[in-house]
């Protein structure tokens, strides 16, 4: 399955879906540093810049469009102005969907989206003929050494009847038990130097690469891989 990646950051969505057996066709990222990282990691993939300036009619169609649009407008750490925040880029995400009409859409954002702007997202998807399922998934149950709750939305035209969240966050995907999780966190914290020295706990990316500049511009790949495998299984 072919993937188009919006708000790619350092490529967490891309890595997870590639692990699930998909192929990334193009990426969209405005940050120059992240652009350089993406092009260095995947030099054969087209990287677009400002999403507001893309003429989607000229972009190759894909089976899946994925991305986590900026969370600042809905984060509980901010003013939560949602649609009134100039950083609210869901309309640009929707513009891509309306033109490319992918079979699936995969969206990620902070839990604050559920209480600010969520209706806008669902109504936009519905206006394009997409059904949607969503859940709030913590990274810890997929093997990360931290919790990091994030909302993930899967949409389709219509969403296949086999596409449900049952099992995604269930015990079969809990790669670490609660005791293992606690021990791993304790170990990570014991070897960390102060944050000012640039150390953090494991984030799911290989070799702990590029974290100081770009780790906030991504999702945890393990979660996306599990969702990608669910989509591939439904397709089979």
Q: Which of 34, 66, 71, 96 is catalytic?
A: 71
Place of tokens 């393990």: 222
User: Does residue 33 register a pLDDT over 80?
Assistant: yes
Lowest mean pLDDT among 7-11, 154-158, 173-177: 173-177
Q: State pLDDT tens for residues 62-109.
A: 999 999 998 888 887 777 777 888 888 999 999 999 999 999 999 999
Q: State pLDDT tens for residues 166-189.
A: 556 554 444 445 555 555 555 555
User: Does residue 233 register a pLDDT over 80?
Assistant: yes
Lowest mean pLDDT among 4-13, 49-58, 118-127, 191-200: 191-200
* 71 given a catalytic annotation: yes
Phi, psi of 72 (to 5 degrees): -55, -35
Classify 165 in phi/psi space as left (phi over 0), alpha (psi -120 to 50) or beta.
alpha
Mean pLDDT of the chain: 81
The CA-atom distances, in angstroms, between 62 and each of 21, 23, 78 are 15, 10, 34
pLDDT the model gives residue 172: 44
pTM as predicted: 0.81
**CATH number of the structural domain 2-235:** 3.40.50.150
């Amino acid at each position: 399955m072919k993937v188009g990646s919006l708000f790619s950051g350092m490529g967490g969505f891309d890595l997870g879906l590639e692990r699930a057996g998909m192929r990334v066709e193009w990426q969209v990222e405005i940050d120059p540093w992240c652009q350089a990282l993406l092009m260095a990691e995947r030099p054969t993939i087209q990287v677009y810049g400002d999403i507001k300036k893309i003429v989607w009619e000229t972009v190759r169609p894909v089976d899946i469009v994925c991305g986590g649009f900026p969370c600042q407008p809905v984060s509980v750490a901010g003013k939560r102005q949602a649609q009134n925040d100039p950083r609210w880029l869901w309309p640009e995400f929707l513009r891509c969907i309306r033109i490319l009409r992918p079979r699936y859409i995969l969206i990620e954002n902070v839990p604050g989206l559920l209480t600010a702007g969520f209706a806008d997202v669902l109504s936009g998807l519905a206006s394009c003929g997409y059904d949607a399922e969503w859940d709030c998934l913590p990274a810890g149950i997929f093997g990360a050494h931290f919790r990091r709750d994030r909302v993930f939305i899967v949409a389709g035209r219509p969403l296949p009847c086999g596409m449900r969240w049952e099992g995604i966050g269930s015990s079969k995907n809990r790669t670490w038990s609660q005791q293992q999780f606690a021990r791993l966190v304790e170990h990570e914290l014991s070897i960390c130097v102060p944050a000012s020295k640039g150390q953090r706990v494991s984030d799911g990316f290989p070799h702990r690469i590029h974290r100081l500049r770009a780790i906030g511009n991504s999702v945890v790949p393990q979660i996306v891989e599990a969702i990608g495998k669910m989509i591939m299984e439904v397709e089979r």
